[in-house]
Structure 1
Amino acid sequence: MKALLKSIGSFDCEPQKYVPEDKSIFHITLTLSIGPDNEIGSEYFDLFVCSPEWLCKHQWEPEILRHTLIVRKYDLDEITETINKYIEKCTCKTWEETAQKLSRYFAWEFEDYSN
């Protein structure tokens, strides 16, 4: 089942209008609405986006970073293109399998959910 990025939002600000105070040191958490390309519905996935300089300044302890995209500059078109490339890699037979694959890259709202 092919997945489609349906929208990008953020609780921090409007991603389309976001301009970092310091273009080299920034971070934003994006909320991605992703769903089957042939259906109306979608589910939410989060992605933390930051610059390498932000990591150097704020990440003090060794840590394996998950659900994080590191970019040199905040360019929403470039970020969206990168997100779409990862989404294309996640096509499976069912939405559940596709969403599980997507959750390797993006924090899924239903990750670790059990009925």
Structure 2
Amino acid sequence: MKVEIKKLYSLEIEDEISSYWPAETYNFGTWIRLSVGPTDELGADYFDLFVCTPQWLSEELEKDPVAQWGRHSLIVKGYNLAAIADQLDRMVQRCSGDDWQEIAVKIARFAAWEFEDYKM
């Protein structure tokens, strides 16, 4: 089964992420939502991850020097949406399986899946 990222957007940025540019490209952090689903289907599930730079992380540690948690995070050198999207696409493409459930569980290892730990 082939899957693809159908859309990327930020949970914190009001504008379209494609037109967003931070004041300091080397110092930013934001949650990004990936809409991912099978290539030949309309539907998709949401996966969230936090993208930040080392400078942003360093400044956060100044505010709370004890610790910063890092699950579902991507640390980049600077803001470059094309490079970030490429990294995300490569990770999604590495997640293979026979059905959507199997693939989604693998994607959830690096991005928080909306149905993670969901029980019927």
Q: Structure 1-normalised TM-score?
A: 0.93
Q: Which runs of 5+ in 1 are unaligned?
A: none
RMSD over aligned Cα atoms: 1.2
1:33-81 deviation per Cα after TM superposition (whole angstroms, max 9, x unaligned):
0001121100001111000011111033334511111111111100010
Cα distance in 1 for residues equivalent to 2:71 and 2:105: 14
Cα distance in 2 for residues equivalent to 1:63 and 1:21: 23
| CA positional deviation for 1:4 | 0.5
Count of residue correspondences? 115
Runs of 4+ in 1 over 3 A off after TM superposition: none
Q: Which runs of 5+ in 2 are unaligned?
A: none
Cα distance in 1 for residues equivalent to 2:101 and 2:53: 32
Q: Given the alignment, which residue of 91, 101, 115 partners 1:110?
A: 115
1:77-107 deviation per Cα after TM superposition (whole angstroms, max 9, x unaligned):
0001000110011110110010000000111
- Match status 1:21 vs 2:23: yes
Partner in structure 1 of residue 86 of structure 2: 81
Partner in structure 1 of residue 95 of structure 2: 90
- In structure 2, give the amino acid aligned to 1:75: N
Helix, strand or coil: the match of 1:16? helix
The percent identity for this pair of structures is 39
Mapping of 1:63-78 within 5 angstroms?
63-78=68-83
Cα distance in 2 for residues equivalent to 1:112 and 1:94: 18
| CA positional deviation for 1:21 | 1.6
